[in-house]
Structure 1
């Protein structure tokens, strides 16, 4: 489906991947999801965009220094990135990258939330984020796995979320950012579920067939960490790509757990 119109403040607007092997990573994702890739050249640090049927779905870049963290980074919509950065600091976060202009594409900062998860703040310019979501091979969901749920929920509220506690069970506590009946992202209390740290943001991509995607991941040199398994939210697959970056894939259930 097309990307969701005007995104509320704080909602995921983009995701991109930092890798230590650009060619191998591009080959993996283009083969797995049928994406195409455009490298924007040395003047952009060889940052590239992945497209699904001509529409932007994700970015990819080479690791710029040995200190640059590898893996997927989630960008949250920040109409005023300078104000959002100050709000993040007031809410107990720290700043990794001060606000800066990325040519005419937008303005960006990177912060670390109180639980230790890094997240980007993106003020759109000409780069307005996803162009399609919630379909096969497109971004479907973004989820914070936190070691400090009680600090994380108010932190993201300061960044614009409207949090709603969806579940507060002994082994499953979960909050969503929900605006006008539309859910945009989630926060999982990992210790409540018995999951050790660290805290991190997880990107989900859609699939029409989770089992076929799992088989293809393995064929392409990735690793299936868990699943596929039916859940109340869809058939879930947790994966690492050949360079070790973690992501999830979700598709229609095949059994009794189908919602």
Structure 2
């Protein structure tokens, strides 16, 4: 699972955009206990969701005509400009050019070889999120893509990711870990887009998972707060109970109630 060592190639940040953050502020406060901390003009009003005084995610108000409401995953790199070049050489593209964010760090927006957007972050004073892998914070990431081998090859070329296969009834699940990591450092999965009816019609993308203490309760809260349940809760041995949601603006994400430590995965 995730941790805050933030080695090269791992998720270090996640943020969402919506036309009006006020429309989703209460939703995320009810669901995760997040408090929205409004950003200053020096960073274009970029805001943060805080959990007990720690940054759990970022947020930005962006007009719908400029970008659809969505969540974006950021991966760590020691060299943003070099990573952009590597992505282009591997068949990806550039959403926005590399830019310095004051003395906090340097970032760029990239699309992979299937056109899926993500961002990269080069650490300055800001290392990454303050909290992961606990209730109310990022716990997993998942790439829905039309071609798993192509995606694995792309991200392997750009970040050096390693992979592992986990079998389950009816198929297998491809998991990824950083170049210098092991299977204990898995932070995400790669899923064939056509295999999931809840995703097939929406297009390829990166899906962030946030940890919750009770998946069913989280789903009920999301419904009450104006969200959409895209996939009802299901359980998987060794993984936990999870569901797919969208906030009132339409940004897609998932929630996960992890299995107790030591529970074996389904074979």
Deviation digits for residues 129-174 of structure 1 (CA, Å, limit 9, x no counterpart):
1111111111110111111212110111122243213147895443
RMSD of the alignment, in Å?
2.3
- Shifted more, 186-195 versus 210-219: the winner is 186-195
Q: Which has the higher contact order (CA 8 A, sep 6+)?
A: 2
Contact 2:19 2:64 in 1 (8 A): no
Contact 1:228 1:235 in 2 (8 A): yes
Scaled by the length of structure 1, the TM-score of the pair is 0.91
Q: For 1:205, which of 203, 210, 215 is the aligned residue?
A: 210
Q: For 2:256, which of 250, 253, 259 is the aligned residue?
A: 250
Q: Which runs of 5+ in 1 are unaligned?
A: none
Deviation digits for residues 211-248 of structure 1 (CA, Å, limit 9, x no counterpart):
11111111101111212111231101110111111100
1:8 Cα shift? 2.3
Residue in structure 2 matched with residue 196 of structure 1 by the alignment: 200
Q: Which runs of 5+ in 2 are unaligned?
A: none
- Inter-CA distance 45–64: structure 2 relative to 1 (3 Å threshold): farther
1:252 Cα shift? 4.2
Q: For 1:222, which of 215, 219, 227 is the aligned residue?
A: 227
1:251 Cα shift? 0.4
Moved over 6 A (4+): none
1:42 Cα shift? 2.8
Residue in structure 2 matched with residue 115 of structure 1 by the alignment: 114
User: How many equivalent pairs are there?
Assistant: 256
1:31 Cα shift? 2.0
* 1:144 pairs with 2:177: no
Deviation digits for residues 8-30 of structure 1 (CA, Å, limit 9, x no counterpart):
21111100001012111122112
Secondary structure of 1:43's counterpart equals: helix
Scaled by the length of structure 2, the TM-score of the pair is 0.88
